[in-house]
Amino acid sequence: MSRMTGSSDLLSRLFALDGRRALVTGASRGLGQAIALGLAGAGADLVLTARTAAALDETAARVRDLGRTVECLALDQSRVEGIAAALDGAGHLDILVNNAGIEEVCPSDSVTPELWDRIVDTNLRGAFFVTQAAARGMLDRGAGSIINICSLTSFVGVPTAVPYGSSKSGLLGMTRALATEWGPRGVRVNAIAPGYFPTAMTEVFYRNEDWGRAMLGKIPQGRFGRAEDLVGAAIFLASDASAYVTGQCLGIDGGYLAAI
């Protein structure tokens, strides 16, 4: 019994987020919402962002149901000039999850400068300046965990997704560069690369049954991802369980990348 109790205590200490405050961008639905609720379930208090604060009402209510405090901020991170001011009032942050992102399927010979800027400004440029603003306090204190939500397109090419893949490849490069620069200052920077997860942003793909059958044939586990599949990885990377992990990108893809 004492051995079992000791193991339980160790797991609680390693993975508990009690007393920590996490900022999750793009937390109104889908993967961002699931990660926010997972961090709250592990004990973290939350700061949530979306383009409108009202869009966060459901997530915020569920965080409060878990007994955690929550603050909601309106933030369009494609407009980088407003990021620092928006986050000035966020206060103490121990964890950042850069989840906010957009995608628009388009043949590459039809991509316009406006489309390119809209995607890259949100997914990469905006993510960097959110990170810069959120990390200031972490760097001053010498502690913090930053988790960037990358993509399979950080590793492989996907037709009709060149702006998106370029932004997510850049986000992986940003992860590694910041991990190298900020590691000596106590701030860890890692990433998660979700595989094929049906979400509101990607539903256009899943409407095509032929595409769905073909894609499932490439995933060793034989199913698409569910939002809750990301929660354990996010808690791990946010917690002391990953104290010696930085500059890494964890693929959550049912084995897709291993099989190609």
Taking only the tens of pLDDT, the chain with its 260 residues reads 445 556 778 777 899 999 999 999 999 999 999 999 999 999 999 999 999 999 999 999 999 999 999 999 999 999 999 999 999 888 999 999 999 999 999 999 999 999 999 999 999 999 999 999 999 999 999 999 999 999 999 999 999 999 999 999 999 999 999 999 999 999 999 999 999 998 877 777 788 889 899 999 999 999 999 999 999 999 999 999 999 999 999 999 999 999 97
The DSSP line for 96-158 is EEE---------GGG--HHHHHHHHIIIIIIHHHHHHHHHHHHHHHT-EEEEEE--GGGTS--
- What CATH code is carried by the domain that includes residue 27? 3.40.50.720
Residue found under tokens 């996490």: 22
Q: At what angle do helices 162-182 and 113-120 cross, to 10 degrees?
A: 30
pLDDT digits 0-9 by tens, 57-82? 999 999 999 999 999 999 999 999 99
Q: Which two tokens stand for residue 162?
A: 């060149």
Reported pTM: 0.94
Distance, in Å, from the CA atom of 223 to the CA atom of 212, rounded to the nearest integer, reads 10
Q: Which two tokens stand for residue 88?
A: 């000035």
Residue 31 phi/psi, 5-degree rounding, is: -65, -40
Q: Which two tokens stand for residue 87?
A: 């986050």
Q: Is 164 a known active-site residue?
A: yes
Catalytic residue among 164, 196, 206, 244: 164
Residue found under tokens 């019994």: 1
Q: How many CA atoms lie within 13 A of 100 on its CB side?
A: 33
Residue 144 phi/psi, 5-degree rounding, is: 160, 160
Domain count, the chain: 1
**In which domain, by residue range, is 24 found?**
2-259
